[in-house]
Amino acid sequence: MLASPFTFPLYVMLKPAGATCNLHCSYCYYMEKKYLYRRQTDLMMSETTLERFIRQYFLAQTQRDILFTWHGGEPLLRGLSFYKKALSLQKQYARGFHVENSLQTNGVLLNDEWCTFFKENNFLIGISIDGPEHCHNHYRLYHDGRPTFHKALDAINLLKKHGIKFNIMATVNNYNADYPLAFYRFFKSIDCRYIQFSPVVETVNSELAAWNVSAAQWGKFLITLFDEWIKQDVGTYFIQYFDATLANWIGVKPGICTLGRTCGHAGVAEFNGDIYSCDHFVHNEYKLGNIYTQTLVEIMYSERQLKFGIDKYDTLPAQCKQCQYLFACYGECPKNRIIKTKDGEDGLNYLCEGYYNFFEHVAPYMDFMAGELINDN
């Protein structure tokens, strides 16, 4: 029996600049969302919408710790005054809640003024960088084709200079997946101890995108990183996928929604107050409502959204439900379930082969670490 949704924190990611960005990364899945608002020229969130969201967000919470996540597009395009207003509104409506803020950026616009604000207000900053220079610059470019690696690296150095907490968010695509050790050692060289990465799986006009990491690449990438990490970096460098895998091995909710049994706990608020089921499902059929006509409680605890979350498990094909590693991935993200099983059933995850190979490889290590953790408790 599934737990009540009210036992989980209500979480909605904010898109203050909508699908607007100062870069043109080839694999970006979000810029196409402009088609949803083609009749609007200004995709920036107004302060009126900001206040309405913040007020409703506090009213919707069932726990005292609240996380605001500012995402994009590129959220810094909304300007510093907007975030100063947001912090003022948070203080106005907090009523004893403990508030934290995180912001994901490509780093291009970061400067000392931004960093002073982030440090003073204890923001956690995520920087998007895809590994060493040749990997990062393969797809992450300005609109005119210029590379962006050194601007991203400058952003990291600025964050270090100001003593700001940060982590890395990298994509794994068909290019950098072939350089797993260079990828990992680069992040170690810049002393980034919290590493998050995400596989690129997209379609273009119903066809698989050229920049997608293949299932075989994905498995080999994870295995190669794991073999390097397990030698000497356990407890020193924290790789989100490995932590989440161990969590599933001991029956604890993982820190990655894609590897959880259910989803639907993380919605998205667009610049105009539209709420969607998930960052990867900003499509008309997954629009849940708007905060000008409904409350966040009504929207996020609606039957549609609860079903969206439960369907992650319930719609798995038979091959997944019979898999010995079902507990470790639960079919991963529904957006990636775009191929057929060996029996011809729809709904198998595009990355299934890679995940299976990874779980098979790490099983002895996970068994050992899980045993150690259980014995310690």
Is the separation of the CB atoms in 16 and 44 below 8 Å?
yes
279 is catalytic: yes
Q: At what angle do helices 240-249 and 215-232 cross, to 10 degrees?
A: 90
How far apart (Å, rounded) are the C-alpha atoms in residues 318 and 112? 54
Is the separation of the CB atoms in 140 and 128 below 8 Å?
yes
How far apart (Å, rounded) are the C-alpha atoms in residues 278 and 265? 8
The sign of the torsion formed by the CA atoms of 102, 278, 24, 42 equals negative
What tokens appear for 94 in the block? Answer: 């907090």
- Considering 112, 279, 314, 376, which one is annotated as catalytic? 279
Is the separation of the CB atoms in 226 and 242 below 8 Å?
yes
Nearest to 14 by CA among 60, 62, 83: 83
- Looking at residue 243, the DSSP 8-state letter turns out to be H
Give the residue numbers annotated as catalytic, written as ranges: 279
